[in-house]
Structure 1
Amino acid sequence: MLAAVIGAAVIFSRNSEEKHESGKPGVTSKAVKLVCSQTDYKETCEKTLAGANTTDPKKLIEAAFDATVGSITEVLKSSALLKMAATDPSTKGAFDVCDEVLENAVDDLRSSIQKVESLDGGKAKAFVADLRTRLAAVGDDQETCIDAFENTTGDTGEKMKELLKTAKEMASNGLAMVTDLTKILGSLQLSKVLGSGGGGSSGARKLMVEEYVGRRIQQVAEMKPTMVVAKDGSGEFKTIAEAIKKLPPKNNETLIVILIKAGVYAETVILPKKVNKVVLLGEGPTKTIITGNLNFAAAVNADDFIAKDLTMENTAGSEGHQAVALRVSGDQAVLFNVNIFGYQDSLYAHKYRQFYRGCTISGTIDFVFGDSLSIFQDCTFVVRKPGKNQACMVTAQGRIDIRSPGGFVLQKSRISAEPELISSTPPVKVYLGRPWKEMSRTIIMNSDIGVFVDPTGWSVWAGTFALDTCYYAEFENVGPGSGTAVRVTWKGIKKITPQIAESWTGGVAYGDDSWIKAAGVPYVPTMMKV
């Protein structure tokens, strides 16, 4: 791999001195083959870039992203299948999901094109983290569209899967290009080959980051309310939804703090995409409660979201099946001292990067699921009594691409249970997790695991699905349920070293953790002892 990419870099470097060669089909074809050499779908990659007529690596990657935009847009605009699904009552809900998430995928791809255009070799680490996060989310959104048809009748879901097949391959190829090329950037410092982008000295950049983090910490620490919501009428708004309606449709600069005074708010809270940098600040998780009993109680689609000192719950109960208390679909979300209460699928940590500190999350089946890169630090996972003949799984991580940064990390946390579950007769089977998708990844380290967890540790999803391709690891955990002597022995069960465990701490796994530091919440970027 190193040889291939270095070879490509040499060709790209020569092009700056031999511009007259750049348009020749043979040279372009060779560059395309090299860029596509590390992708999983090489034929699709080469077809995508066949007419690129450039050997510039940035332009080739941009062309690949742009082609993926075109492929997804074509599905949205021209698909007879989607048009039919939009009018069929049995599939309209699934269509609405597809319409939303595929538009989000296009937005992420367009954002990725802009990032590649401004690629700075001197900022490789943060660049890789941000771009990989966006590109993995493109795949997640396409998968979410397909999943939406899972419980519908007929063969529409299978047709949708086929319709998105090429677009999914193209998205995977884009992730592969960026992951491998920028790995070389970081390890061999080929910034001169790809251009420095005028980033300035590393010392100056570090100072700028420190100044930004310092300003944000001060902003968050002060937490002066921009808006006040009070059920008793003492604020500007009586409902959270009313306050959100008054937010600007786009926000990338100003921190907006919505103080939610004590009370039970029975409403569905949706924070729209691009309404970024919003803080939902409660008066304590036992005082400020957002509650609902439909598909979800709260959904966050915006970036740079912060929630503190409140509860979000779905009261549908164990008989309500999938009933999300909170869905987070925005990047760089931080939650501190938040209760997330539900039963099945309580927390949908959908995509991008998320950080949870001092939170309590309760549920029964797959009650933490999704494909974000989420670190849960000093959190408590409470297993509740499920319905009759049901087992419980704490996690169901949904990574779909081996290069995706997605994964759940439980760090210095606790897995406990409600008394009703402990005293159940017959006993309820409880597992640490099961593989929702093929590349499911969960790491539990330095955490306390209760005695009620089944000694085998992990549950199957269906048959042998994903048992070889998942990535599950336990490292230096304590508690009566932490013994690994009789754990399942799938190929996907990993025994990790201290060095690998360290790679799953926030300071390493996120690539750039300045957004957590800027949130002003307790955070340890390194290993934490029990």
Structure 2
Amino acid sequence: MQSLVASILALFFLLGALEARYNLQDDVVVSAAIIVDQNGHGNFTTVQQAIDSIPSNNSQWTRIHINHAIYIEKVVVPKDKPYILLEGDLDHYPVIEFGDGGNVVTSPTFIAHADNFIAKNIIFKCSFLSVQDTLSDARGRHYFYECTIKGAIDFIFGSGQSLYEKCQIVSVTDVIGFPGYITANGRGGPDDPAGFVFKDCHVSGTGPINLGRAYGNHSRVLFSGTYMENIITPQGWMAAWNTGNEDLISYSEANCSGPGADLSQRVTWEKKLSDEEVESLTNAAKFIDQDGWLAKQPK
């Protein structure tokens, strides 16, 4: 599974992080185009109507172009509707937003269950702030670029294999009154490629907050080149469910800066990675794009 999430400039509240499996093709052809225009100048006035119009078990790429507007709706891409390219205008991004509460299954603004799904040039927005489990990075390979993600407890969680680049990670632990956790990575074994990598990001907001706690017994998280404001707990990490097996956990920091990046009181079991190991995780081509799927998506 792979997915691309780029140029998202607002609060993320998605289940599965726009999960998709990308089947590589030498010549990618988009066979049909659908236009969504809120003012009635396209094929449909809502994003969900456009998705619903695509036949089940579709086998050809279909482009859904969304004209600029604020679309207040929950959107679901069912598992039986693959090969969808959802795109907005490059200069005037459309906004998909909704305000709701509940669990991680029922409350997301946008859910993609289908394989072979791509979204670009779209703002996904919620009208409220999540505290716990904001972003379910459940499984598959994902690339998040210039996203803003807010929360207090495990607000980036799951077993995904994901690179977060130049993202704003915003803590809101003031609303809970005790230290929270940015990540809860569920990597389950030594050969599991999963892990969360934060490259050139900015961690801000209210504290104190831990960088992560181990949801899986081989949990893996790396913060690299990231600026951390003075909100990070001195210890930085917690073994949580895997206390006693800290040697299996891979939590690391490399070349980070800011008052929150002080390593002097970090947990003794934090991993010190070599330059080569850091590069293998922060280089998209090596960590999430070994088969070149990012370059081979439909244009």
- Call closer, same or farther: CA 1:392–1:264 in 2, change over 3 Å: farther
Q: Which residue of 2 aligns with 1:258?
A: 65
Does 1:411 pair with 2:184?
Answer: no
CA distance in 1, matches of 2:162, 2:68: 28
Q: Which residue of 1 aligns with 2:165?
A: 377
Does 1:289 pair with 2:96?
Answer: yes
- Call closer, same or farther: CA 1:502–1:520 in 2, change over 3 Å: farther
Q: Which residue of 1 aligns with 2:272?
A: 495
**Structure 1 length-normalised TM:** 0.47
Shift of 1:315: 4.3
Shift of 1:463: 7.7
CA distance in 1, matches of 2:262, 2:32: 47
**Deviation per residue, 1:36-60 (Å, 9 max, x gap):** xxxxxxxxxxxxxxxxxxxxxxxxx
Q: Which residue of 2 aligns with 1:34?
A: none
After TM superposition, the structure 1 = structure 2 runs for residues 104-503 of structure 1, keeping only pairs within 5 Å, are 212=26, 226-265=33-72, 267-283=73-89, 287-294=94-101, 295-315=107-127, 317=129, 342-417=130-205, 421=206, 428-462=207-241, 464=243, 466-490=245-269, 493-503=270-280
Amino acid across the alignment from 1:441? R
Shift of 1:373: 0.6
Give 2:295's match in structure 1, choosing from 489, 514, 517. 517
Amino acid across the alignment from 1:494? K
**Deviation per residue, 1:325-349 (Å, 9 max, x gap):** xxxxxxxxxxxxxxxxx33211111
Q: CA RMSD in A?
A: 3.1
- Call closer, same or farther: CA 1:291–1:415 in 2, change over 3 Å: same
Q: Is the 8 A contact 2:68 2:93 kept in 1?
A: no
CA distance in 2, matches of 1:388, 1:308: 34
**Deviation per residue, 1:133-161 (Å, 9 max, x gap):** xxxxxxxxxxx9xxxxxxxxxxxxxxxxx
Q: Is the 8 A contact 2:173 2:209 kept in 1?
A: no
Q: Is the 8 A contact 1:354 1:374 kept in 2?
A: yes
Q: List alignment gaps of at least 5 residues for structure 1.
A: 1-107, 109-128, 130-143, 145-208, 318-341, 422-427, 522-530
Shift of 1:286: 7.3
Q: Is the 8 A contact 1:386 1:392 kept in 2?
A: no
Amino acid across the alignment from 2:40? G
Amino acid across the alignment from 1:451? N
1:500 match: secondary structure:
helix
Amino acid across the alignment from 1:501? V
Shift of 1:489: 1.3
Shift of 1:511: 5.9
CA distance in 1, matches of 2:51, 2:295: 26
Shift of 1:290: 2.2
Shift of 1:361: 1.7
Q: List alignment gaps of at least 5 residues for structure 2.
A: 3-15, 17-23, 102-106
- Call closer, same or farther: CA 1:408–1:233 in 2, change over 3 Å: same
Q: Is the 8 A contact 1:366 1:394 kept in 2?
A: yes
Higher helix share: 1
Q: Is the 8 A contact 2:135 2:157 kept in 1?
A: yes
Shift of 1:260: 4.8
Q: Is the 8 A contact 1:343 1:386 kept in 2?
A: no
- Call closer, same or farther: CA 1:391–1:260 in 2, change over 3 Å: farther
CA distance in 1, matches of 2:244, 2:99: 34
**Structure 2 length-normalised TM:** 0.79
Q: Is the 8 A contact 1:451 1:480 kept in 2?
A: yes
Q: Is the 8 A contact 1:285 1:311 kept in 2?
A: no
CA distance in 1, matches of 2:253, 2:80: 37
Amino acid across the alignment from 2:243? T
Q: Which residue of 2 aligns with 1:150?
A: none
After TM superposition, the structure 1 = structure 2 runs for residues 33-72 of structure 1, keeping only pairs within 5 Å, are none
- Residues 433-442 or 464-473, more deviating: 464-473
- Call closer, same or farther: CA 1:276–1:313 in 2, change over 3 Å: same
- Call closer, same or farther: CA 1:406–1:344 in 2, change over 3 Å: same
Shift of 1:370: 0.8
Shift of 1:255: 4.3
Give 2:284's match in structure 1, choosing from 506, 512, 527. 506
Shift of 1:452: 1.7
CA distance in 2, matches of 1:461, 1:251: 43
- Size of the aligned set, in residue pairs, is 272
**Deviation per residue, 1:166-189 (Å, 9 max, x gap):** xxxxxxxxxxxxxxxxxxxxxxxx
Amino acid across the alignment from 2:296? A
CA distance in 1, matches of 2:75, 2:276: 41
1:296 match: secondary structure:
coil
CA distance in 2, matches of 1:487, 1:441: 16
Q: Which residue of 1 aligns with 2:5?
A: none
Q: Is the 8 A contact 1:248 1:275 kept in 2?
A: yes
CA distance in 1, matches of 2:92, 2:251: 31
Q: Is the 8 A contact 1:225 1:258 kept in 2?
A: no
Which structure exhibits the higher relative contact order, with contacts defined as CA atoms closer than 8 Å and separated by 6 or more residues? 2
Q: Is the 8 A contact 1:281 1:307 kept in 2?
A: yes
CA distance in 2, matches of 1:238, 1:302: 22
- Call closer, same or farther: CA 1:285–1:391 in 2, change over 3 Å: farther
Amino acid across the alignment from 2:108? F
- Call closer, same or farther: CA 1:280–1:390 in 2, change over 3 Å: farther
CA distance in 2, matches of 1:435, 1:300: 26
2:295 match: secondary structure:
helix
CA distance in 1, matches of 2:244, 2:75: 36
